[in-house]
Amino acid sequence: MKLLQEFKQFVLRGNVVDLAVGIVIGAAFTAVIQSIVDNMITPLIGVVGGVPDFSDNFWTVNANKIYYGNVVTAILTFLITAAVVFFFVVKPINALVTRSRKQPPPDPTTKKCPFCTLDIPIDATRCPNCTGELDRAA
């Protein structure tokens, strides 16, 4: 019975549930990104220079085939997928986060002279324009 309670406590721990949700959302997100790459980006690349397929490229060493073309295709797929994620997910989200953060206004560095109404440094005790003596409290 104690073993089942420990297992239940482990499974229902916040980190485990969060991780499980993250993996499920990640899998769904992967399907979306892969669909964008396969159905939109790759055909657009194909319009410009043809859809490259390196999977038939291989070297023969001692009667064994080394399919380097599959590795090249996987690297290109990774780079295209990474570019799609960066430009269509990361950049827009970073822009939204930057826009949503409200920057506090900077501390004032000047104040108005009560005599001539010109801007003077905030720490000034005498106006450099009209030479009026300023109250320190003001």
Half-sphere exposure of residue 25: CA atoms within 13 angstroms, side-chain side: 6
DSSP label at residue 133: B
Phi and psi angles of residue 66, each rounded to the nearest 5 degrees, phi first? -110, 110
Output the pLDDT for position 27: 92
Residue 92: band (very low, low, confident or very high) from pLDDT cuts 50, 70, 90: very high
- Overall pTM surpassing 0.85 (yes/no): no
Tens-place pLDDT, residues 24-64: 999 999 899 889 888 888 888 878 877 667 778 889 999 89
Listed by start position, the domains of the chain span 1-50, 52-103, 106-138
Nearest one of 106, 46, 104 to 76, comparing CA atoms: 46
Tens-place pLDDT, residues 6-30: 888 877 777 777 888 889 999 999 8
Output the pLDDT for position 138: 46
User: At a CB cut-off of 8 Å and minimum separation 6, what does 11 contact?
Assistant: 17
